[in-house]
């Protein structure tokens, strides 16, 4: 039963962070761009800008996830982490195809897009997390936070009472579907399990990375309004 008590402690840790940084958490998960998707007032140029920039981001996400998989293979005491992350890599393959299909639907030329400043900064942050000296716990916390901001944001566009335009439903379902929600819960569980075993320093680093993800996500959504 010791392990169970510890899990609760880890769960409290992430809840505590969310409460401590509530304002920033809400700005990331209820951003005006997402609210405009939800209420149907979004304009197509914002959506297209987001789509093009996110394609670039997701391409950078592949090496990040590969580095996380490597850390899990080396450092995780639980074999199922590796399988979860391998599943994540497999879905990225499908996601990249989806971006190409969606871009052609919206006449977005993916090969002509240059990453904007906020995107470059975010990708550089991901690169810093790929370094071998970055702890697996810190990196998996970042990964959970990155995925869960999208899960929270897009699932809100599918809730009863939302007025999401039909042509954006597929996008919202990609990150807002129940399966993705469960995947985020599993990632959170891994992060929580790890957080209870590491030193205070590593926990503080993980919290810092959580905050940095929220800031980066807010700036990423901001890009949809143009430079």
Ligand X SMILES: Cc1ncc(CO)c(N)n1
Q: Which is nearer to ligand X, 153 or 164 (CB)?
A: 153
d(CA 31, CA 118): 15
Neighbours of 12 (CB within 10 A): 13
Q: Closest CB to ligand X belongs to which residue?
A: 150
54 marked as binding residue: yes
Residues 158-173 as b or e (16 or more Cβ within 10 Å = b): beeebebeeebeebbb
d(CA 134, CA 138): 7
Calculate the CA 19 to chain-centre distance. Answer: 19
Q: Which is nearer to ligand X, 14 or 51 (CB)?
A: 51
Write down the catalytic residue from 83, 196, 217, 227.
217
By CB under 6 A, residue 58 contacts ligand X: yes
127 marked as binding residue: no
What are the Cα distances from residue 213, in Å, to 27, 34, 38, 168?
12, 17, 23, 25
Q: Least distance to ligand X from the beta carbon of 217, Å?
A: 6
Assess whether 217 carries a catalytic annotation.
yes
Q: Least distance to ligand X from the beta carbon of 221, Å?
A: 8
Q: Which residues have CB under 8 Å from 25's CB, separation 6+?
A: 18, 214
Site for ligand X in 199-218 (CB under 6 A): 217
Site string for ligand X, 136-175 (x = CB under 6 A): ----------xx-xx-------------------------
147 marked as binding residue: yes
d(CA 81, CA 72): 7
Residue list, annotated binding site for substrate: 54, 95, 147
The residues annotated with a catalytic role in the active site are 217
Contact set with ligand X (CB under 6 A): 54, 57-58, 146-147, 149-150, 217, 220
């Amino acid at each position: 039963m010791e392990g169970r008590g510890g899990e609760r402690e880890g769960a409290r840790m992430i809840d505590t962070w969310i409460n401590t940084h509530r304002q920033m958490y809400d700005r990331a998960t209820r951003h005006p761009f997402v609210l405009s998707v939800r209420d149907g007032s979004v304009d197509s140029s914002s959506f297209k800008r987001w789509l093009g920039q996110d394609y670039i981001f997701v391409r950078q996400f592949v090496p990040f996830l590969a580095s996380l998989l490597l850390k899990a293979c080396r450092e995780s005491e639980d074999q199922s982490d590796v399988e979860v992350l391998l599943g994540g890599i497999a879905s990225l393959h499908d996601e990249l195809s989806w971006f190409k299909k969606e871009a052609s639907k919206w006449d977005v030329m993916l090969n002509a897009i240059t990453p904007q400043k906020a995107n470059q900064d975010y990708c550089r942050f991901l690169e810093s997390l790929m370094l071998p000296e970055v702890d697996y716990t810190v990196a998996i916390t970042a990964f959970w936070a990155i995925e869960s901001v999208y899960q929270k944001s897009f699932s809100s566009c599918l809730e009863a009472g939302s007025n999401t335009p039909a042509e954006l439903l597929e996008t919202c379902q990609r990150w807002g579907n129940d399966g993705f929600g469960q995947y985020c819960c599993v990632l959170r569980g891994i992060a929580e399990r790890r957080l209870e075993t590491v030193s205070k320093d590593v926990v503080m680093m993980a919290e810092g990375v959580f905050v940095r993800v929220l800031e980066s996500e807010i700036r990423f959504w901001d890009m949809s309004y143009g430079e």
